[in-house]
Structure formats: C-alpha cells, structure tokens
Amino acid sequence: MKIYINGKFYQKSEAKISVFDHGLLYGDGVFEGIRVYDRLIFKLREHIDRLFESAHAIMLDIPLNKEQLVKATIQTLKENNLNDAYIRMIVTRGEGDLGLDPRKCKGHATIIIITDKIVLYSKELYKNGMEIITVATTRNSHEALNPQMKCLNYLNNIMAKMEAVQLGYEEALMLNDQGYVAECTGDNIFIVSKGELYTPPEIMGVLRGVTRDTVIEIAKKNKIPTHEHVFTRHELYIADECFLTGTAAEIIPVVKVDGRSIGTGKPGKLTQALTEKFRQLTKKEGARY
C-alpha cells in the first residue's frame, strides 16, 4: 500500500509525519471519508467541497486547489491499483511547536491521502438490521465545537462509541444537550413514520453527511415526503422504520433502539427501497478514473 503525503508516495511502513504536527498534538485539522465503487469515486466533488468548507471554518489553508486534490486522489488510487476502496483524505495544520498557537506552524499544511478497504458492520446486520443504544455522552454543542466541521478532533464520537461497545452494541445514539436526537457516533439517523421520512436538521448538532444528503435527494425524486425535523427518542421508539447513513456504513437498517423494537422489528420496506436506489446511484454518480 502506498500513502500520499504532501505530493509524494510512501509505503505504509514508511509513511510518517512529524510528532510536532498539530494534527497529532491537538487534533487540529480536517478530513473526509470517500467511497469508490468499481473505479467510480462516489460524490467526490461533494466531499471535497465539504473538506474545503471545514478547513475554511477553522481558518486552515489547503495548499492544493480542488482540481489538484481531485488529481492527487485519483493518482493515489492508481498507485494502489484499486477498483473498490475507501479513501481517507486528511489535512492537518502542519508542523509547529508544543504551544496551541496555530501561527507557530511552519510552512504548509500536511495533506495525507490513504486508499484502503473498510468494513464497519457484518453482512448479517445489513440483512437483519442492527440494535443501537442511547449513551450518556451528548453531541458537541455548536458553541463548543460545531459538529458540521468534520475535524480531526473526534473524541466526542469515540467516547460515545466506547460506551456502546462496553454495553455490547455496535453503534450509539447521541442526543444533543437539549435531549433531542442528533446522530450516531459515525452515522446520520433517519426514521420513517406513516410513509414519510424524517431526519434531524443540522441545527440539532449533526454533520451534513454526503450519504444523508444523497438519501434525501433520492427520496424527493421519488416523491417520498421528506422532513428535516426535530424529534425526541419517543418519536424514534414509535417509528415504523429506522436506518443509519454514512460513507463507510452506506445505509444500514436499525430494528431495535434502547431495547424497543422499531416497527415490525425487521428492516422496513422503505429502507430497503432507498437502499436499492442508493446502490444504483453508486454505479453512476461521481468521478470515474
């Protein structure tokens, strides 16, 4: 495996950055996860747009423009001869000193592109659905660290994931500081009620997921009433269907939350229909190389 770092390729064992890089020292940086399906980089432009938005929000200058980053990504895939892959694109503040001040970071930001495989959940969970649990760790508030920035500081999500794992679950539901449903540790959440689709709005403390937006787009094209709407766990418990979305997870059905069966306790028909239409879209939407 070859890793792209600042315009050069390194074998995995030789891919290194400085221990003074502020991405390592302070989580000062941004990242994206992107899927590749049969040499089609799914929604590449949308992911790169979001990367630049996150970087702008934290006042981080990316030394490549968007077109150059597209070319670097494609080059990395070709170097590794991958047809299907998961891309991790990382931009850190770069090398600095042991202080917090980002002005002390010398030179350009560090750009890293990794292309590999990823499997979050078993085939059985996609077929039969998964169970999730609400954890005590709440989602970061906008006033502290806005969840819409996909930054390297992911400890909030990791702490919630640890709680879920300790309790024997694969994924955790996170509420915001007001007690409303926000998202899961690495995925956005949707519910279906009376044939209509609901997902929490960004103001509730969610990342504007590319897969989330894709599902909303698919639903609207198929005339499925779709709402970005505030809801509590009560609305979740009594929903007809529930599913999660994410670049790595894609679309995965949820059949039980906090011990309560959702709908029939099996993956719902609308979830299955949206999943099929999503899979069709991954065959034609994106940048081919």
Would you tell me how many other CB atoms lie within 10 Å of the CB of residue 244? 26
Instruction: Please confirm, yes or no, whether 150 is among the known catalytic residues.
Output: yes
| Candidates 150, 277, 283, 284; catalytic one | 150
Query: Alpha-carbon distance 29 to 21, whole Å?
Result: 10
Buried b (16+ CB within 10 A) or exposed e, 245-279: bbbbbbbbbbbbbeeeebbeebbbebbeebbebbe
Residue 191: phi and psi, rounded to 5, are -130, 155
Whether 181 and 204 have beta carbons less than 8 Å apart is answered as yes
Q: Are 268 and 128 in contact (CB under 8 A)?
A: no
Alpha carbons 186 and 27: distance in angstroms, whole number: 17
Tell which residue, 284, 217, 274, has the closest CA to residue 244: 274
Report the distance separating Cα 278 and Cα 251, nearest Å: 8
Question: 37 forms bridges with which residues in the sheet?
Answer: 40
- What whole-number distance in Å separates Cα of residue 133 and Cα of residue 142? 23
Question: Known catalytic residues?
Answer: 150
